[in-house]
Amino acid sequence: MKTSKKFGYSMMAAALFTGAGAFAQDIKIGYNADLSGSGVAELGISGRWAFEAAIEDVNKAGGILGRKVVGVIRDDLGTPPKSIQNMTELIDNEKVAAVVGPANSGNALAWLHIPQQKKIPVVVPIATGTEITTRYAKEAQNYLFRVSMVDREQTALLGAYAAKSTKTQKVAIIADSTGYGQGGTKDATDILALHGIKPVAVEKFGPKDTDITSQLSKIKAAGADTVIVYGLADGTAQVVRSMEKINYQPTTLGAWGNLSSLFPKMTGPALAPNLIMAASTTEDTSAKTKALGERIRKNFPTLTTFPAAAQAYDSVMLIAAAMKQANSTDGPKVAAALENLDSVPGVIKTYSKPFSKANHEGLGVQDFYLARWKGSEVTKYEDDITKSLQPSDLKK
């Protein structure tokens, strides 16, 4: 079968799925994410290989309830229609017991009703849209869980850093004009208000704009010494490049999507470190993260979006733990068990009661920290400000 090369990896054509040849007694877990359609695919690919690594580890430890676990992979091409189709096939045809995915928030929001109606637990390892886990929060059982960086939560960290880093109390916000960027603008504005700061400027840019000097000149004229940027990696890269054009170098903060290798490719190695980003983990965090990173690189040599990999790995481990605790693969029982898990060792952390009836977020702002590009790698970022941040500073 023909292979295609993208983002430095070799992936079998979409017709070949990991689940092929699974026996009836096997427990199937689906993975549905962008693996080839957009810049977000880099995150989806990172998650895919970690998803498979986690299943391999579960099987080495005896599987689940004495049964082998099989991953069923689907590429949603970064589009809602394909993602919806994939979810329907995974649940109705493949009979998966749970799903991990997607990478794109818009795709998740397009198909949330499907697993909710079919009573199939989903753990989202990458997409960050706040509504993903809250839309069905008032239902008798909410089947949507997440192990990723929620927009509001990571903005709380960026806002806390901005409030302490600014010497003039002049902070500005610039975001792309998409729903993602404008949602980030609202979150950043609200969180800065909790710190007693009103942005001196709020600007936006088109996600395909290459010259953002006009908007940045207004921000510079307003005296902002700290700028929060809300955009995907390619858009944020254009912001950083445009800052260089007008000789403007404020403290620049961005969301975790800038962990994509698109960012340093577009800015170049000299400008890439100018952005400080939120992250849930980095490869240099611990022996566990280092080992997973080395393992994923065997399939994905150009891995940069490591948090997506770590989050996908931990998502599988939480599903496996819930099935064991429930002594069942029945959807309602597994979802209820996810809400009552005890201690589950993961790569990012040991999850102690990570979910509850009211909260389906496995990670929170207290788990996040800052990172920046150093050459071709993302490393943890620390300075006097990060060391001084207290839990009370993380307002949300």
DSSP string of 371-396, one letter each residue: EEEETTEEEE---HHHHH--GGG---
pLDDT at 371: 92
- Residues 238, 375 within the same domain: yes
- Does residue 170 sit in the same domain as residue 132? no
Same structural domain for residues 199 and 301?
A: no
Q: Domain count of the chain?
A: 2
Alpha-carbon Rg for the chain, nearest whole angstrom, is 21
Domain shared by 255 and 301, yes or no? no
Contact in structure between 263 and 373 (CB atoms under 8 Å): yes
The angle that helices 287-296 and 41-60 make with each other, rounded to 10 degrees, is 110
Could you give the CA distance from residue 123 to residue 223 in angstroms, rounded to a whole number?
A: 43
Q: Report yes or no: 131 and 107 within 8 Å, Cβ to Cβ.
A: no
Query: Under DSSP, is residue 6 helix (H, G, I), strand (E, B) or coil?
Result: strand
> How far is 292 from 348, CA to CA, in rounded Å?
11
Residues 102 and 173 in one domain: no
**384 plus 264 within the same structural domain:** yes
Rounded CA-CA distance 273/373 in Å is 5
State the CB neighbour count (10 A cutoff) for residue 368.
22
* 130/216 same-domain check: no
Instruction: Look up the CATH number of the domain holding residue 166.
Output: 3.40.50.2300
Q: Please state the length of the chain.
A: 396
Q: What is the pLDDT of residue 150?
A: 86
* pLDDT for 7: 41
pTM recorded for the entire structure: 0.83
Mention every residue, 6+ apart, whose C-beta is less than 8 A from residue 85. Answer: none
Task: Report pLDDT for 296.
Answer: 95
Give me the domain span that covers residue 270. 152-279+369-393
Per-residue pLDDT of the chain (396 residues; tens, 9 = 90+): 443 444 443 333 333 334 444 444 899 999 999 999 877 888 999 999 999 999 999 999 999 999 999 999 999 999 999 999 999 999 999 999 999 999 988 899 999 999 999 999 999 999 988 889 999 999 999 999 999 988 888 899 999 999 999 999 999 999 999 878 888 899 999 999 999 999 999 999 998 899 999 999 999 999 999 999 998 889 999 999 999 999 999 999 999 888 888 899 999 999 999 999 998 888 888 999 999 999 999 999 988 789 999 999 999 999 999 999 999 999 999 999 999 999 999 999 999 999 999 999 999 888 888 999 988 788 889 999 999 988 888 877
Residues 97 and 208 in one domain: no
Cross-strand partners of 27 = 69
- Cβ contact 227:171 at 8 Å: yes
pLDDT score at 20: 43
3-class SS of residue 212: coil
Q: Return the SS3 of 277.
A: strand
- In a shared domain, residues 195 and 320: no
Task: For residues 52 and 135, state if they share a domain.
Answer: yes
Q: Are residues 50 and 110 in the same domain?
A: yes
> What's residue 14's pLDDT?
35
Q: Are residues 43 and 180 in the same domain?
A: no
Dist CA 325 CA 65 (whole Å): 10
Beta-carbon contacts of 393 under 8 Å, excluding residues fewer than 6 positions away, are 160, 163, 164
Q: What is the pLDDT of residue 356?
A: 96
Instruction: Quote the CA–CA distance of 216 and 201 in Å, as a whole number.
Output: 10
| Residue 155 structure tokens | 């903005």
> What sign does the dihedral 151-382-248-233 (CA atoms) show?
negative
Predicted confidence at residue 394, as pLDDT, reads 84
Please state, in angstroms and rounded to a whole number, the distance separating the CA atoms of residues 147 and 135.
17
